[in-house]
Structure 1
Amino acid sequence: MPAAALCIRTFDSADESEVVALWHACGLVRPWNDPYKDIERKRSFQPGLFLVATQADAAGVEVLVGSAMAGYDGHRGSVYYLAVAPGHQRAALGRRLMQEVEQRLLALGCPKVNVLVRTSNVQVLGFYDALGYARDEAFCLGKRLIPDH
């Protein structure tokens, strides 16, 4: 049986609990980031750059299998929360999500995309290497302005 067609679309509020569950399943949630607040913030700014991927399961029910959150500040694009459900990884879904993100950013005139990868997530570096992403000689520094907890 052929694989179910992948649908990539903009996030909808009905996706919220499935997206948060996906992020937990993929190990993307950290105690200092409230995923619900991250979603709320994204929905208020460039919501068209918050994508989900769905596929029909064996019963024909649409199941959320991926997500990607992106942003563009006029200088660089950024990608966050790229996630593919563990049972659906290694089937080019992450590649398809990134292609859609890149197309949407390019349509906004974005000249370069940055992706942040936690140092503990080394297995994903090969994925980004295969997509043509290079490791920049730069440090990522952060400062929380609004605590989530």
Structure 2
Amino acid sequence: MTVEIRSYTAQDEAQVVALWEAAGLTRPWNDPHQDIARAVAVWPDLLLVAADGDAVVGTVMAGYDGHRGWLYYLASAPDRRGEGIGRRLVSEAEARLEALGCPKVMLMVREGNEPVLEFYDGLGYTRETTRLTGRRLIADDDADARRGPK
């Protein structure tokens, strides 16, 4: 089958989370289900999946704050790597960001993840020297409690 790049739908959620877990992108302090809900609440057309029939074989989550675009959760299924799925997802995310007037796209790569940096080097990304800081405002378990029963 041909891999289609399309916007995420709610029916994709279980497969998307499973893919993120298989790709090693999840962390205990970030609930991936909450990340999906937050993303689609703001920019529903910027969470993309690569679908081969009914199977989700890749993802990328993009965001735009009016100043810069960001890419998160780029993943392709481990058994589908090398097929260009990641490149196609990045290209589509960039096109959607550009259509919104986004002048620049950024992403974060965890320290020591040289293969991922090399992947982005190959797409024309430039390694920045900026340091990041962060502070959690809402713990994912707190967000669940405020939302009430499921």
Q: Give TM-score, length-normalised by structure 1.
A: 0.92
Q: Gaps spanning 5+ residues in structure 1: where?
A: 57-61
Pick aligned residue for 1:8 from 5, 8, 20: 5
Q: Partner of 1:108 in structure 2? A: 100
Alignment length (residue pairs): 141
Q: Structure 1 segments of 4 or more deviating over 3 A?
A: none
Kindly state the Cα deviation for residue 137 of structure 1 after the two structures are TM-superposed: 1.3
Which stretches in structure 2 are left out of the alignment for 5+ residues?
142-150
In structure 2, how many angstroms separate the alpha carbons of the residues matched to 1:93 and 1:27?
17
Compare the two structures and name the one with the higher helix fraction: 2
Residue matched to 1:41: 38
Distance 2:112 2:32 in 1: 19
TM-score between both structures, scaled by the size of structure 2? 0.91
Within 2, Cα distance between the matches of 1:12 and 1:146? 25
SS in 2 for 1:68: strand
Measure, in 1, the Cα distance between the counterparts of 2:138 and 2:113: 25
User: 1:18 & 1:43 partners in 2: Cα distance?
Assistant: 16
CA RMSD of aligned residues (A): 0.9
Q: Alignment partner for residue 127 of structure 2, among 104, 117, 135?
A: 135
Q: Output the amino acid matched with 1:16.
A: E
